[in-house]
Amino acid sequence: MPREELTPAQTDEMFQLLAVHFDGVTRAQFTRDLAEKNWIVLIRRDTRLVGFSTLLVYESSFDGEPVSVVYSGDTIVAREAWGTTALARGWITAVNQLRERYPRGKYYWLLLTSGFRTYRFLPVFWREFFPRYDAPTPAGMKRLRDELATERFGEQFDLLSGIVRFRHPQRLSGELKIIPTERIADPHVAFFVTHNPGHAQGDELVCLTELYPENLTAAGRRMTAPQLCES
């Protein structure tokens, strides 16, 4: 839905859900961040909000050519909905639909993540994304990532590490910031921890992937297929 169509009640639900899962969240900061976005994905179970993602979809340019960009901001799913595909299905469907409104140039997802669960979203649903453990970032993709991140975050973006350190970071709360020992055996998780050692303090790894149908994994393609309802 367009951000301007959010009701005060919906906005309050979003803030309360975010504040439960992140430390360092203030209403003023949440309001400022939300005002910068133009699209919202809401996930509900019955009448309760169990997840959301805020999006800024915009056009920029790279090497003299237009590019369209999806920058995802605050994103959270309540623990009770971790076992569902609702966010993945809703998010992928939303960005596919938004492509019609932003048709110019290639279409990229600019993702900042301080949590390994969000980073794991990339290898599950996209074939090619960067940075990653099993392939170096191509020079052109790195330049594009650096330009988009510098354009949006200025001096808060560290070119050398590929990390954004916000002046007022939001940090996953409690056990959510702890990476279970057994998950480190996953090479994607191990890569995330190595390349974002300050994740528990709210450091954000900047990631980039091109959004086009052929870049979806088999799991990603299933997210775009119609759901069958049992009678």
Q: CB burial class (10 A; 0-12, 13-18, 19+) of residue 78?
A: middle
| Distance from C-alpha of 117 to C-alpha of 122, rounded to nearest angstrom | 10
Average pLDDT over residues 104-113: 96
Range of the domain at 27: 3-223
Task: Specify the 3-state DSSP secondary structure of 116.
Answer: helix
Indicate whether 229 belongs to any domain: no
pTM, full prediction: 0.90
Task: Specify the 3-state DSSP secondary structure of 87.
Answer: helix
Indicate whether 228 belongs to any domain: no
pLDDT value at residue 80: 79
Indicate whether 10 belongs to any domain: yes
Indicate whether 44 belongs to any domain: yes
pLDDT value at residue 175: 66
> For residue 114, how many other CB atoms are within 10 A of its CB?
25
Indicate whether 125 belongs to any domain: yes
Q: Is the model's pLDDT at 176 over the cut of 70?
A: no
CATH code: domain of residue 85: 3.40.630.30
pLDDT value at residue 231: 38
Indicate whether 230 belongs to any domain: no
pLDDT in tens, 111-161: 999 888 889 999 999 999 999 999 999 999 999 999 999 999 999 999 999
Indicate whether 78 belongs to any domain: yes
pLDDT in tens, 37-82: 999 999 998 888 999 999 999 999 999 999 999 999 888 888 777 7
| Distance from C-alpha of 12 to C-alpha of 120, rounded to nearest angstrom | 28
Q: What are the beta bridge partners of residue 107?
A: 68
Domains in the chain: how many in total? 1
Q: Is the model's pLDDT at 177 over the cut of 70?
A: no
Tell me the percentage of the chain whose pLDDT exceeds 70. Answer: 95
